[in-house]
Amino acid sequence: MTTPALLPLSGRRLPPLSLGASAFPHHRATLRLSEKFILLLILSAFITLCFGAFFFLPDSSKHKRFDLGLEDVLIPHVDTSKGDRDLGGFLIHGQGRDQHRHREEEERLRNKIRADHEKALEEAKEKLKKSRDEIQAEIQTEKNKVVQELKKKDSKPLPPVPLPNLIGINSGEPADPDIREKRNKIKEMMKHAWDNYRQYGWGHNELKPIARKGHSTNIFGNSQMGATIVDALDTLYIMGLHDEFREGQEWIDKNLDFGVNSEVSVFEVNIRFIGGLLAAYYLSGQEVFKIKAVQLAGKLLPAFNTPTGIPWAMVNLKSGVGRNWGWASAGSSILAEFGTLHMEFVHLSYLTGDPVYYNKVMHIRKLLQKMDRPNGLYPNYLNPRTGRWGQHHTSVGGLGDSFYEYLLKAWLMSDKMDTEARKMYDDAIEAIEKHLVRKSNGGLTFIGEWKNGHLERKMGHLTCFAGGMFALGADGSRDDKAGHYLQLGAEIAHTCHESYDRTTLKLGPEAFKFDGGVEAVAVRQNEKYYILRPEVIETYWYMWRFTHDPKYRQWGWEATQAIDKYCRVSGGFSGVKDVYSSSPTYDDVQQSFFLAETLKYLYLLFSNDDLLPLDNWVFNTEAHPLPVLHLANTTLSGNPAYR
């Protein structure tokens, strides 16, 4: 142990005392006795002092530890430049002073903590004095700030692309006053449907027009995604309901959020939301729709992460986890679902310059091309893990319908350059005609369903869209059979009209039979409902455009009147449970496709052909018009249409 150095209060060091003979060499001979005595006294005093210091001064290593400990505690509160000087003072004044300073520091610290707590308490009291609404408003403001920040990040403008030829957006006014009046009536019905949704279901997916509240089904997941707003936008636009369109746009801009923990149908979200947003973008030119469509498409992409690249039916928008419907044969994906993505996905690649969407749908096409088809027919079920067909069930109605529609429309949308799609369509409808199309005893042409080698003589309301599809595909058909396919379209339109005409309400049932003396009539109670579906009217409209036969407008007007009479309620429009009953009960759902499709096709039926001409526009399966793309100069590699 070394003798501690003595420090003055000022911190300046004294020169050390040396006690060896060499310290005073020149005095040694001249020292007298008295001087020696004095020196002895000084020496003994010094030794006593050293002895005392040894026992009473604190251990320097302890000083160091305390020093560190104190600094640790004081760092946030104490100016340590002052602390240096204080510690110097503490060291020279010994342990008593040490404890005193320590207590002082502790006290200072305690006071500081107490003051901080009191301040926090005061602030909390102030908060509590505010009303619940004020507090909620403050929280909302904070939330909005965060949302705005996120939006800024997400809303980066996309690279500009040349817009396709967008003609016939604001046309179609008929000269004939009778037709104009009918068209205005349909517009009034649209307004009734919209206004009630606006009032009672705003932001919800659909409306319950009798209960006057929001409605939803599992296809939209568990969150409010405003399906009716998105689905209705383009109908509002072409009807000239621009204030309503702007309301919808504002809601979408501020509220449509895809980061939600919600499991949605990939197919439904694609045809209604992406299709609806893209159509709204092309019609209005408002960037927000394009941005939202691209954001949403990004959320659907994880659904394609399967061993085969055939997407799951459902995907969780937040986690990206996908799965198939529990009811689907052997865990299969559905033909009409994974086969109804092409139009929207090609447009997404076109608008973003990103081939990812295009590649996904072309991969599906390539996979289907390689597979064997029983009797040339596409089964409705395909397992996305094994790449094998599930149950051999083929239909042009539910589960199969829009797959065939999109083969034809891929060709039309490419300005008839995508001949691969046209060939697939031609092959498919040849097999359908051979195996599924039949004539009833009463002379009605119908399309049945193929189930494990057996034809079921039943046709769904959904299948009635095929009349329009055959007419649309007539031009350009193999072996120049245009006349034949136009005729087939007319026969299907006639059969479907019969299915309406043979009911009490003049509205078509969900499914009707051609068996055991029954023709175009529903037999089972659970097939007698009408849920505001569009397919029959869709076919009337296509047939009208290609033939201008006035019977199609007449049939369309019959349907309009029946809907207005039997489905209209004061809170909107509702489906009915039994079209054969004179006192029908309501299902209390205003489907979003009623605004997207049924009313749009009716409006087009009573408009001139220059409104959305079919040479320039192709309607997706939810009736959202997308422009024909002339892509010869772009670089969507791999597409036979664009090479």
Q: Which of 234, 498, 510, 622 binds ligand DMJ (CB under 6 A)?
A: 622
Within 13 Å of residue 487, how many CA atoms lie on the same side as its CB? 5
Sketch the per residue contact string, 23 through 62, with ligand DMJ: x for CB under 6 A, - otherwise.
Answer: ----------------------------------------
Q: Which is nearer to ligand DMJ, 531 or 641 (CB)?
A: 531
Distance, CA of 505 to CA of 581 (rounded, Å): 7
The active-site residue, picked from 234, 401, 491, 622, is 401
Q: Residue 442: what residue type?
A: G
Taking the CA atoms of 390, 396, 401 and 405 in sequence, report the sign of the dihedral they define.
positive
**Residue in this structure with the two tokens 């083969």, named with its chain if needed:** 407
Strands 458-460 and 511-515: antiparallel
Read off the DSSP letter of residue 57. Answer: S
Is 609 designated active site? Answer: no
DSSP 574: -
- Polymer length of the chain: 643
Q: Cβ of residue 531: shortest distance to ligand DMJ, in angstroms? A: 7
Distance CA 128, CA 360 (A): 55
What distance lies between CA 506 and its chain's CA centroid? 38
Q: Which is nearer to ligand DMJ, 91 or 461 (CB)?
A: 461
Give the total of residues touching ligand DMJ (CB under 6 A): 8
Q: Compute the distance between CA of residue 421 and CA of residue 435 in angstroms, rounded to an integer.
A: 21
Residue 277 to residue 373: CA distance in whole angstroms:
35
Contact between 270 and ligand DMJ (CB under 6 A)?
no
The one among 402, 414, 477, 574 contacting ligand DMJ by CB under 6 A: 402
Catalytic residue list contains 142 = no
Q: Would you give the end-to-end CA distance of the chain in angstroms?
A: 92
Q: Is 600 in the site for ligand DMJ (CB under 6 A)?
A: no
- For the bound state, the minimum distance from the C-beta of residue 538 to ligand DMJ, rounded and expressed in Å, comes to 8
Site membership for ligand DMJ, residue 617 (CB under 6 A):
no
Cβ of residue 372: shortest distance to ligand DMJ, in angstroms? 27
Q: Which CB atom, from 70 or from 492, has the smaller least distance to ligand DMJ?
A: 492
CB-wise, 405 or 578, nearer to ligand DMJ? 405
CA nearest neighbour of 184 among 567, 551, 562, 560: 560
**Two tokens at 195?**
């206004």
Q: Which of 449, 510, 519, 587 is catalytic?
A: 510
| Cross-strand pairs, 450 | 394, 455
Signed CA dihedral, 216, 217, 220, 221: sign only: positive
Q: Which long-range contacts (CB under 8 A, 24 or more apart) does 565-570 make?
A: 565/505, 566/505, 566/507, 567/507, 567/530, 567/532, 568/189, 568/192, 569/209, 569/210
Residue 530 contacts residue 579 (beta carbons within 8 Å): yes
Closest approach of ligand DMJ to the CB of residue 603, in Å: 16
Cβ-based burial of 90 (10 A; exposed 0-12, middle 13-18, buried ≥19): buried
Which candidate in 206, 234, 263, 268 is catalytic? 268
> Is residue 510 annotated as a catalytic residue, yes or no?
yes
Q: Does 409 bind ligand DMJ (CB under 6 A)?
A: no
Q: Is 495 annotated as a binding residue?
A: no
619 in contact with ligand DMJ (CB under 6 A): no
Q: Enumerate residues 440-469 that contact ligand DMJ by CB under 6 A.
A: 462
Which one of 491, 535, 578, 588 is the catalytic residue? Answer: 535
Residue 593 as a binder of ligand DMJ (CB under 6 A): the answer is yes
- Distance CA(639)–CA(255), nearest Å, equals 36
Of 215 and 533, which has the nearer Cβ to ligand DMJ?
533
Give residues with Cβ within 8 angstroms of 267, minimum separation 6. 313, 334, 336, 337, 338, 340, 341
Residue nearest to ligand DMJ (CB): 621
Cβ distance to ligand DMJ smaller for residue 417 or 522: 522
Cβ pair 424, 369 in contact under 8 A: yes
Closest C-alpha to 362, from 345, 385, 386: 345
By the rule CB under 6 A, 621 interacts with ligand DMJ = yes
Closest to ligand DMJ by CB, 445 or 591: 591
Asked if 587 interacts with ligand DMJ (CB under 6 A), we say no
Tell whether residue 244 is a contact of ligand DMJ (CB under 6 A): no
104 is catalytic: no
Which is closer to ligand DMJ, CB of 402 or CB of 639?
402
Taking the complex as a whole, the smallest distance from the CB of residue 331 to ligand DMJ amounts, in Å, to 23
Q: From the CB of 522, what's the least distance to ligand DMJ, in Å?
A: 16
d(CA 465, CA 508): 13
| Residue 622: CB minimum distance to ligand DMJ, A | 5
Range 529-568, binding ligand DMJ (CB under 6 A): 533-534
Closest approach, Cβ 441 to ligand DMJ, in A, equals: 29
Q: Residues within the annotated binding site for Ca(2+)?
A: 621
Residues contributing to the site for ligand DMJ (CB under 6 A): 402, 462, 533-534, 593, 597, 621-622
Residues annotated as catalytic (active site), given as ranges: 268, 401, 510, 535
Q: Residues within the annotated binding site?
A: 621
